[in-house]
Amino acid sequence: MTTKLSAEEIAIIDYVEGSQPTSIDNVENEKNRYTQIACAQISKKKAISIRLLESDIERLKAKSFSQGLPYQTLISSLVHQYANGKIKLDI
């Protein structure tokens, strides 16, 4: 997968990899701005459609109810944990 970089991202790479870094004004404002950009990228979500057994959905709903959260949030959490290597499948 190839990621296209914006002009601003290219400028950041050039700055970091360059041999003559320069100071910028309002460092705290820039740190806050980049923190907001990073948070916006991390929190992007995409809707998907998936077919599951009805019995599995009912069991997930029961488990999520006992945990006090919506079942879709539980499913999302499970996928996120698996994708990040926090849980493994016994296959």
Confidence of residue 79 (pLDDT cuts 50, 70, 90): very high
Cβ atoms 74, 64 nearer than 8 A: yes
Q: Average pLDDT of 19-32? A: 82
Tokens (6 digits) for 9: 């991202």
Confidence of residue 1 (pLDDT cuts 50, 70, 90): low
Q: Domain residue spans in the chain? A: 52-90
More confident residue, 5 or 2: 5
Neighbours of 28 (CB within 10 A): 7
Tell me: pLDDT of 22 over 80: no
Q: Indicate if the alpha-carbon torsion angle 40, 43, 47, 49 is positive or negative.
A: positive
Decide: pTM greater than 0.75.
no
CA–CA separation, 75 and 60 (whole Å): 8
Q: Who contacts 42 (Cβ-Cβ below 8 Å, separation ≥6)?
A: none
Residue 56, pLDDT score: 96
